[in-house]
Amino acid sequence: MSMAEMEVPRNVVEEYLCMDRMPHMWCSGCGIGTTVNCFVRAIERSKIPRNKIAVVSGIGCTGRVAGYIATDSFHTTHGRAIPFATGLKLARPEMTVIVYSGDGDLIAIGGNHLIHGARRNIDLKIICINNFTYAMTGGQAGPTTPPGSISTTAPYGGFEQEFNLPYLAESSGAVYVARWTSFHVTQLTRAMAECLKKKGMTFLEIITPCPTLYGRRNRQGTGVDTMKMYREMSVVKHGADTKEAAIVPGKEILVGRFVDIDRPTFLDGYNKQMKSRLGERFPEYRGISEESDPLEQHGENEIEQ
Amino acid sequence: MKADPAGVLTGAHFIDGDHACCEGALAAGCRFSAGYPITPSTEVVERIAARFPHVGGMFIQMEDELAASIAILGAAWGGAKVLTVTSGPGFSLMMEHIGFAAMTETPCVFVDVQRAGPSTGLPTLPAQADMMQVRWGSHGDYGIIALSPNSPQECFNLTIEAFNLAETYRVPTFLMMDESVGHMTERVVIPAADEIEVVPRRYTSKPSGEYLPYEPEEDLVPAMVPVGRGYNVHVTGLTHDERGYPVMNAAAQDRLIRRLVDKIRKNARRIARYEESRIEGADVVVVSYGITSRVAMEGIRLARENGIKVGILRLVVVWPFPGWRIAELSGQIKAFVVPELNMGQMVLEVERYAAGRAKTHCVPHAGGTVHDPKEIATVIEEAVK
């Protein structure tokens, strides 16, 4: 059989990516692209129609994810992806809204929004890429940078205590909390699919290499070396106490699904409370009316993809 | 299109400007608001929180003004007409998302019930000192629309107009109230729904293959798409091309920013609204807006008693500023007098367009109360000398 006759298997990834924007802007050895690959496979597995998915990012290397995914996508301001997504989700509750951003964006400048989003249990899927640094701006220290790490703004080594993200997310109220690394592509894809299915605010931390700006300065070698380190140091422990999940350089990295509980979402609570106080005077809230949507009026419900 | 009767509280009411603003939003079709409490604007969101659940709307109190000002933008892309409300310190925090709204051409309404600043200033007392901040407060170049009501009735009317302008031009639009107007209680007449004109969202009629999200129409404004329709729209605060994709070069920047500025500048005469009285034969024209336009009436009366010919130009739409009208008048009169509850902000625009052809006199006031009308009368009398 000649090459021309060979059937080329369909690449599911391409269908979900803005291929006209390739090549992407991430460095060689960066883990973000790997997570995007897992993400689009999880979307496909979830069977959620692509036009009912919106991806919202903040600013930074991970902030660029929104621009590469072929769904409705929003590249917002630094740290504010969660409140933007909150407004979008409340206007369009039928959509699955994913917040895909980095540790600097979600945990430092956006930390307040993360804890309040989790407290409210807004139905958002938070994917937090943790590469321990501000990569887009050149490798500065952040609230996830482990003490002792060298960065451009901590040239003599950092000393501030870093956040333990699963513990922060759980104590703020997230209903699903997991951590994987970009080495664990199978588990990661499964975890993303679980998030997409789960109702309420889910928080998935993904440890990824940044060889250019973090690894290089902190003796982690190349991206491949860091992946080998993830393989060797990761310990899967589902249901682990998130208090124990702090990342300490040179020590094991706890991964797995730590939290998976159920509690009413913001909208569940809203509808229940208003109904109890207003009775018949309260029309159940199902999002903003689409009366002004011309496509709805003309009955052209779904645009062919 | 006419207003949805569900949101229109038709009848005569005795309410303050803050409450009237909420009713204006409802009449305009606003069904999503995110807010954060701050004096003297809180009554607006309190009424919203009580009223919206009855009409299928949603109010969410966010953790700060940064969150409130972007939650509305998410909801706007979700198809809602949106509003947030604040005062000075909160307005400063919202600047980030005023820029994002301008850059992404997201229709939205911001209400600033002005109090005296800077910083915490006088939380319960009036000022009009955010008039330049509203125009220039976020970084970079862009255009906005701002309106200034001088009564609770106008708080109702102009809130509707703010929504209509925001939808027409896809631009953040501002209702620049002040503490006096916000807390002033007067008769407010709300007409029947079929007497209220509302502008629906400007959605494209093109299918996804032909649609470019940032391709402007004749008036320089692009049409939007609803999310969830498979258009795969990408929205970014980065400089972008007609597809909405980031483009990092000076040519793309020039093309986009010129349009963002021009869509207001070139439509300025269509957007502008001002009221004039006794301009014909006047030696002095008092230019004012908001609460000060009412205080100035007494100063003008005093000056007229002394035989001075005084005309009035009241700005209803403050930005874009009707500079062409100032330029026309400056050849006919001796002087402009501009009282405002700040140390001299809109007077700079008057002076710029008068361009030396008429003198320009500022009547500054640091805020905390309104002018003594006699101060205004004195400046008018000096201006004719």
* Cβ neighbours of A67 in B, within 8 Å: 234, 236, 245-246
Check if B68 contacts A (Cβ < 8 Å).
yes
Chain B hits for A270, CB-CB cut-off 8 Å, are 58
Selection from A42, A56, A248 nearest residue A145 by Cα: A248
- Give the closest-approach CA distance of B1 to chain A in angstroms: 10
How many angstroms away from the CA of B55 is the closest CA of chain A?
7
pLDDT in tens, A28-51: 999 999 999 999 999 999 999 999
B206 lies within 8 A of chain A by CB: no
Contact assignment for A116 to B208 by CB distance below 8 Å: no
Asked if domains B5-195 and B275-383 share a fold, the reply is: yes
Contact B318, B141 (CB under 8 A): no
Strands B122-126 and B108-116: antiparallel
pLDDT at B354 over 60: yes
A77 contacts B100? CB cut-off 8 A: yes
Q: Exposed, middle or buried: residue B254 (CB in 10 Å: 0-12, 13-18, 19+)? A: exposed
From chain B residues 8-47, the ones with a CB under 8 A of any chain A CB are: 29, 31-32, 34
Parallel, antiparallel, or unpaired: how do β-strands B310-315 and B284-288 relate?
parallel
| Domain boundary assignment for chain B | 5-195, 275-383
Mention every residue, 6+ apart, whose C-beta is less than 8 A from residue B295: B339, B370, B371, B373, B376
Q: How many CB atoms lie within 10 A of CB A13?
A: 15
Q: What value does the CA radius of gyration of chain A take, rounded to a whole number of Å? A: 20
Please give the CATH topology (third level) of the domain spanning B275-383: Rossmann fold (3.40.50)
B275 in A contact zone (CB under 8 Å): no
CA A86 to chain centre: 15
Q: Could you tell me which CATH number the domain at B5-195 has?
A: 3.40.50.970
Q: Is the pLDDT of residue A3 over 80?
A: no
What is the pLDDT averaged over residues A266-275? 98
Look up tokens 């600047």; give the residue: B95
- A-chain residues within 8 Å CB-CB of B236? 66-67, 74-75
A34 min Cα distance to partner chain B (Å): 22
pLDDT, one tens digit per residue, over B78-133 is 999 999 999 999 999 999 999 999 999 999 999 999 999 999 999 999 999 999 99
Cα A86–A90–A96 angle (5° rounding)? Answer: 80
Instruction: Tell me whether residues B79 and A290 touch, CB distance under 8 A.
Output: yes
Mean pLDDT of chain A: 93
Question: Which tens digit of pLDDT belongs to each residue from B243-301?
Answer: 999 999 999 999 999 999 999 999 999 999 999 999 999 999 999 999 999 999 999 99
**Which residue, chain included where needed, has tokens 């009368």?**
B377
Write down the pLDDT at residue A304: 38
Chain A contact probe: residue of B229, B243, B245 with most A CBs at under 10 A: B229
Residue B19's SS3 state is: helix
For A288, the closest of B31, B207, B231 (CB atoms) is B31
Q: Are B126 and B341 in contact (CB under 8 A)?
A: yes
A282 vs B79: CB contact, 8 Å cut-off? no
- B166–chain A nearest CA distance, Å: 15
C-alpha span between B352 and B344 (Å, rounded): 13
Q: Does residue A10 register a pLDDT over 80?
A: no
Mean pLDDT along residues B5-19: 98
The alpha-carbon gap from B199 to the nearest alpha carbon of chain A, in Å, equals 10
What residue numbers bound the domain in which A134 lies?
18-263
A88–B78 CB contact, under 8 Å? yes
Of B80, B226, B238, the CB nearest to A75: B238
**How many A×B Cβ pairs under 8 Å?**
177
Measured at the CA of B287, the angle between CA B285 and CA B291, to 5 degrees, comes to: 135
The two tokens of residue A24 are 């992407």
pLDDT score for A6: 77
pLDDT reported for residue A289: 64
Tell me the average pLDDT across A164-174. 98
Distance from CA of B320 to the nearest CA of A (A): 26
Residue B66: its chain A contacts at CB < 8 A? 79-80, 83, 113
Let me know if residue A282 belongs to a domain. no
Percent of chain A surpassing pLDDT 90:
90
- Please report the pLDDT score of residue A305 as a whole number: 35
How many domains in chain A?
1
Picking from B32, B52, B63 by the largest number of A CB atoms within 10 A of its own CB, the best residue to mutate is: B63
Closest by Cα among A253, A88, A234, A89 to B104: A88
Model pLDDT for residues B166-224, shown as the tens digit of each residue: 999 999 999 999 999 999 999 999 999 999 999 999 999 999 889 999 999 999 999 99
SS (H, E, C) B356-374: CCCEEEEECCCCCCCCCHH
Chain A interface disruption, residue of B55, B236, B238, B239, most A CBs within 10 A:
B236
Q: If you average pLDDT over every residue of chain B, what do you get?
A: 97
B64 touches chain A (CB under 8 A): yes
Buried b (16+ CB within 10 A) or exposed e, A241-279: ebeebbbeeeeebbbbbbbeeeeebbbeebbeebbeeee
Q: Are A59 and A129 in contact (CB under 8 A)?
A: no
Spell out where A238-288 has E strands.
253-260
Gap between the Cα atoms of A83 and A114, Å rounded = 9
Cβ B288 vs Cβ B316: under 8 Å:
no
Compute how many other C-beta atoms are within 10 angstroms of the C-beta atom of residue A233: 18
Is residue A2 included in any domain, yes or no?
Answer: no
**Residues in chain A within 8 Å Cβ distance of B209:** none
CB contact under 8 A, B54 and A282: yes
Inside any domain, residue A7? no
* Residue B250 Cα distances to B239, B254, B257, angstroms: 9, 6, 10
Cβ neighbours of B63 in A, within 8 Å: 83, 112-113, 116
The whole-angstrom separation of Cα B309 and Cα B303 is 8
Residues in B closer than 8 angstroms to A74, CB to CB, are: 74, 77, 234-236
pLDDT tier, B144 (very low <50, low <70, confident <90, very high otherwise)? very high
- pLDDT at position A299: 39
Q: Are B115 and B87 in contact (CB under 8 A)?
A: yes
Q: How far is B345 from chain A (nearest CA, A)?
A: 30
- CB spacing of A87 vs B32 below 8 angstroms: yes
**Predicted confidence band at A290 (pLDDT cuts at 50, 70, 90)?**
low
Query: How far is Cα A162 from Cα A158, in angstroms, rounded to an integer?
Result: 10
Residue type, A34: T
Q: Mark yes or no for CB contact A87/B230 under 8 Å.
A: no
B68 neighbors B120 (Cβ within 8 angstroms): no
CATH of the domain at A176: 3.40.50.970
